[in-house]
Structure 1
Amino acid sequence: MPDYDGVVSGVILYKYLSKFTDNLELKYTERSQGHTSNNIIHQIDDDTDLYIAVDSSSNDVAPLKYLADKGIDCLVIDHHTIQEHNPYAIIVNPQLEECQYPNKDASGGLLVYKVCKVLDDYLGTEYADEYIDLAGFAVAADMMDMRNMENRYYYKNALINIHHKGMKMLFKEMGKDPKNLYGLDFAFGVSPAITAATRADNIKLAIDFLLCDDEMKLKKYVKELVKLNERRKEIQAEAIDRLKPNIDEADKVIILYDPTIGKGYNGLVSQDISKLYSRPVIVLGDGEEVNVYAGSFRGLENEFSMMELLQNCKFAHYGAGHDGAGGTAVYSHEIDKLRHELNAKLANWKPDNSLYYDLEIDCRDVTEELINDIQEFYRVSGRNFTPGKFKIINLFVADKKLIGKSNNTVKIDCDNIIAMKFKTDEEYYNSVPVFCSIEAIGTLNINTWIQYKPRYKVNKYLQLFLEDYIVAN
């Protein structure tokens, strides 16, 4: 359970089963140890009756055979791609070929919640819905397809009906109103903060936070999560700056090696670089075996499955996870061979650097009412249903500032709209013209904050989260 979805899966099941017995234990491995049962089976006592693996282990034939041979029953509740026949466990996974469950894009947390609902039906209880909000957030955190109506239902329910006291506190700490949440509030705030603990190999903090009901302890956990999230941002920014000079834009798939980033951050760095260069990215570190590099990939799901591509590569040891996000490994002396192999397989594919937008709007027509309508339409957003992008014309740049702890955010004052460019640098800041008109593409939102001194006041301004701009003719 090394990520948000895995932690939530474990927490939901533990809380639910605790309603019936105290004869259970919540076991876990840190993110750097991997996403399988291999590193945990030796923690399982011989007198255990039932071992339940969540958000993993569908393909863990050997470790589950090890437990089954000891007489321990095994249950797997998972949603990852199945590559191995596993006869040593009862497997609940919509990816099973014979499974008729229609939602093939359910997250691990949602599936655990559904299993608990079935148990409620059998036992005549009503406990599962106490955790329905955690299940909905798990769908979004694990980037499940938001065109799927069941996923949308549970995510929207989570956004408008939070039960978890700690989640409410964390949203407030990040300046969001728990009574009026949008998908981006979770995706770019709370989700990364909780996952930051798992990426720092402090999964216990994430578990303790989600299990806790004590207000004083929750305040402490929230502060720790926010602090870890800030450090996570710094690590990402530093890694990208360090890796940029090593990128060959002629490659169809960017492959980078840096053993200092850490297993918990390889995927995030891959994702950021993939967005910058509009192509798949693999970021590798040192693997567990000598002369093996292992790490994470991020692909372009709307164009092809990066996971399947790696599975068909001679020099990639494996491709695991999801179509657009997962892990792989390669021998250190064969990294260039893998690069050439990927370039050859994608010889006819061209990265699309185009910027697309949904509608052109004159800046004078952008109002608080318009943005509220847009935000309501895109309240439930995520993979394959992203917030609308708009081309805003007749913007006049009056001023600009370089802000943020790492000086990686550019704030552009365009009279009635403030344009914000995140995860950038001083070079981008210097390129932004002042005292001229621009046309810009991005997502619209409203920044709201409360001023308490010298008197109480609610402040608002219209924002454009900037993708890019051109100087108007």
Structure 2
Amino acid sequence: MNEPITISGDPDMDGVSSLVILYKFLSKFTDKLCYVCNERSEGHMIGKLIQSIPEETKLFIALDSSSNDVESMRHLNLKGIDCLVVDHHTITNENPYAVIVNPQQFDCEYPNKNACGGLLTFKLCQVLDDLMKTSYSYELSDLPGFSLMADMMSMMEMENRYYAKLSLKGLKHEGLKQLFKGMNKDIKNLTATDFLYGASPAITAATRVDNIKLAIDFLMCDKETTSLKKYVKELIKLNEYRKTVQADALERHKGSIRDDDKVVIICDPSIGKGMNGLVGQELSKNFNRPAIVLGNGDDEDTYAGSFRGLEDFSMLDLLENCKTIEHTGGHPGAGGLSVKKENLQELKDELNNRLSSFAPDDTLYYDLEFSVDEIDERFINHITEFYRYSGNGFKPGTFLIKDLFISDRKPLGKSNNTVKIDCGKIQLMKFKVDIEYYNKVPVFTDIEAIGSLNMNIWTEYKPKFKVTKTCQLLIEDYRELIK
């Protein structure tokens, strides 16, 4: 432990969490420790980091990336630097220049093939604890679950559900506590949804605008610090900016999407490399089909960007088999790609051919149906507990609620892009809408609606302490009833 160590983490929530876990753990044993990171716009490979690694480094550790980064590891070996990779992404080629910890290796017997970088890094720390007869990893046990949820790893995997529970039920990290509070979340009753639609995109927003240092500095704050409030404020502000970019891009491009295209493909360099994936996610959700968002590549002849797929098939496998694709990588449902500009139309044609039998499914599905008379706080709390550890493979429950009567409606938010629909004992909430949607909501009308149930708890401290609880249905859609 007397040799200088340099750590690198991928520029996303999983990578940053991995870096913080290992850095805090190793700092218990040595002060000869530093880290270097790419900004998101610089990509996920470590080639551009080579010059940033201190000359005295004897061990370089790449987290949540670089299983396939052969040339960079070879270069570091030639400089006398040993390399360790802790990763969970698909391995496409042999890398003899690094010790690789990755459950995707063909001979790896680790049973959880749905582990993420943060969980594997934590497991590495546990092994080192065993060797050193220490127990420092315990202090970091609430971070792996957040990594798993942020990276959309399967919540049907029992180990992943266990660590998600440690994160949500056993939250120790002071910075995350303050961020949840800043987003009006009850830290004693957190759900995966609170994280996935609140804290996670806020932290990731920092990496998406090439401010990875903010994300790292924030996650280093597992205890109260003088800078913590400033970090939380900056992350919440960036998250609002992220929402604006997504909404603006959707509004700008939705009119250009052709019904007969099997994959939504847009080119818009103004979105920015860090935001391409989020816009792709928004387009995929709105048009019920895979989406690709492209901007300028590394040279003037190439487009590069992100893709988002569906659960029905692996978009990554599909793109890997497309002859026009220059490069692709990531996860089955989300990743990056590049294509020559002259081949873009050919790629569109190829995808339309390969997906000729695919039809976008606009059907709304739900798990159970209830009358609004059955809904109360106790009922919603039971539902919340059942779906607390939701995510990939185990989605939050969606319900059809009947016997609703709209008595009022109201626009909310700075941009009036949220609609609150008053239905007596329950409020219907619809996010990311425009004034046209609001104007179409009928008043004094019987309806039924599909959505997810939620308790909105609001605490007021002035002029006097008051806690307000409201039953909510976060709706996907509603239907007027004609009697």
- Note whether the superposition's TM-score is higher than 0.5: yes
Asked whether the equivalents of residues 308 and 319 of structure 1 are also in contact (C-alpha less than 8 Å), the reply is no
Using the TM superposition, give the Cα deviation of residue 297 of structure 1 relative to its aligned residue in structure 2, in angstroms. Answer: 0.5
- Partners of 1:456 and 1:51 in 2: CA distance: 53
2:14 aligns to what? 5
- Partners of 1:25 and 1:345 in 2: CA distance: 47
Please list the CA deviations of residues 418-448 of structure 1 after superposition, one character each: whole Å capped at 9, or x if unmatched: 1111122222222222211111000001100
- Partners of 1:57 and 1:222 in 2: CA distance: 30
- Partners of 1:40 and 1:74 in 2: CA distance: 14
In the superposition, the TM-score normalised over structure 1's length comes to: 0.98
2:435 aligns to what? 426
Aligned pairs (5 A) from 1:395-410: 395-410=404-419
The residue identity in structure 2 corresponding to 1:285 is: G
2:356 aligns to what? 347
1:361 lines up with 2:370 in the alignment: yes
1:292 aligns to what? 302
- Partners of 2:339 and 2:417 in 1: CA distance: 33
1:190 aligns to what? 199
2:456 aligns to what? 447
Please list the CA deviations of residues 151-172 of structure 1 after superposition, one character each: whole Å capped at 9, or x if unmatched: 0000111101111111111111
1:130 aligns to what? 139
- Partners of 1:142 and 1:431 in 2: CA distance: 37
1:278 aligns to what? 288
Q: CA RMSD in A?
A: 1.0
Please list the CA deviations of residues 385-410 of structure 1 after superposition, one character each: whole Å capped at 9, or x if unmatched: 11100000111111112222222212
Please list the CA deviations of residues 42-87 of structure 1 after superposition, one character each: whole Å capped at 9, or x if unmatched: 2123332111000000110111111112221100000111111111
Decide which of 384, 390, 396 is 2:399's aligned counterpart. 390
1:267 lines up with 2:277 in the alignment: yes
1:112 aligns to what? 121
1:241 aligns to what? 251
Q: Which moved more, 1:72-81 or 1:327-336?
A: 327-336
- Partners of 2:277 and 2:436 in 1: CA distance: 25
- Partners of 1:64 and 1:297 in 2: CA distance: 28
Aligned pairs (5 A) from 1:27-426: 27-212=36-221, 213-301=223-311, 303-426=312-435
Asked whether the equivalents of residues 360 and 391 of structure 1 are also in contact (C-alpha less than 8 Å), the reply is yes
- Partners of 2:224 and 2:242 in 1: CA distance: 26
Please list the CA deviations of residues 244-293 of structure 1 after superposition, one character each: whole Å capped at 9, or x if unmatched: 12211211111100000011111011111111111000000101111111
Equivalenced residues, count: 472
Q: What is the DSSP-based 3-state SS (H/G/I as helix, E as strand, rest coil) of the residue aligned with 1:327?
A: strand
The residue identity in structure 2 corresponding to 1:63 is: S
Using the TM superposition, give the Cα deviation of residue 319 of structure 1 relative to its aligned residue in structure 2, in angstroms. Answer: 2.4
Q: Which moved more, 1:42-51 or 1:70-79?
A: 42-51
- Partners of 1:161 and 1:15 in 2: CA distance: 19
Q: What is the DSSP-based 3-state SS (H/G/I as helix, E as strand, rest coil) of the residue aligned with 1:216?
A: coil
Q: What is the DSSP-based 3-state SS (H/G/I as helix, E as strand, rest coil) of the residue aligned with 1:244?
A: helix
Q: What is the DSSP-based 3-state SS (H/G/I as helix, E as strand, rest coil) of the residue aligned with 1:318?
A: strand
Asked whether the equivalents of residues 397 and 414 of structure 1 are also in contact (C-alpha less than 8 Å), the reply is yes
The residue identity in structure 1 corresponding to 2:389 is: V
Using the TM superposition, give the Cα deviation of residue 28 of structure 1 relative to its aligned residue in structure 2, in angstroms. Answer: 0.6
- Partners of 2:415 and 2:41 in 1: CA distance: 26
The residue identity in structure 2 corresponding to 1:232 is: R
2:4 aligns to what? none
Q: What is the DSSP-based 3-state SS (H/G/I as helix, E as strand, rest coil) of the residue aligned with 2:190?
A: coil
The residue identity in structure 2 corresponding to 1:330 is: V
1:18 aligns to what? 27
Residues 454 and 46 of structure 1: CA distance in aligned 2, closer, same or farther (over 3 Å)? closer
- Partners of 1:275 and 1:325 in 2: CA distance: 13
- Partners of 1:128 and 1:156 in 2: CA distance: 17
The residue identity in structure 1 corresponding to 2:385 is: E
- Partners of 2:54 and 2:389 in 1: CA distance: 43
Q: Which moved more, 1:401-410 or 1:135-144?
A: 401-410
Asked whether the equivalents of residues 234 and 406 of structure 1 are also in contact (C-alpha less than 8 Å), the reply is no
Q: What is the DSSP-based 3-state SS (H/G/I as helix, E as strand, rest coil) of the residue aligned with 1:295?
A: strand
- Partners of 2:17 and 2:407 in 1: CA distance: 46
Using the TM superposition, give the Cα deviation of residue 453 of structure 1 relative to its aligned residue in structure 2, in angstroms. Answer: 3.0
The residue identity in structure 2 corresponding to 1:226 is: I
- Partners of 1:25 and 1:215 in 2: CA distance: 21
**Which runs of 5 or more structure 1 residues have no equivalent in the other structure?**
none
**Which runs of 5 or more structure 2 residues have no equivalent in the other structure?**
1-9
2:465 aligns to what? 456
Q: What is the DSSP-based 3-state SS (H/G/I as helix, E as strand, rest coil) of the residue aligned with 1:441?
A: strand
- Partners of 2:415 and 2:54 in 1: CA distance: 47
The residue identity in structure 2 corresponding to 1:158 is: S
Using the TM superposition, give the Cα deviation of residue 356 of structure 1 relative to its aligned residue in structure 2, in angstroms. Answer: 0.6
1:470 aligns to what? 479
- Partners of 1:445 and 1:121 in 2: CA distance: 42
- Partners of 1:408 and 1:247 in 2: CA distance: 22
Please list the CA deviations of residues 192-245 of structure 1 after superposition, one character each: whole Å capped at 9, or x if unmatched: 111111111111011111113343211111111111111111111111111112
Q: Determine what percentage of the aligned residue pairs are the same residue.
A: 58
Using the TM superposition, give the Cα deviation of residue 451 of structure 1 relative to its aligned residue in structure 2, in angstroms. Answer: 2.1
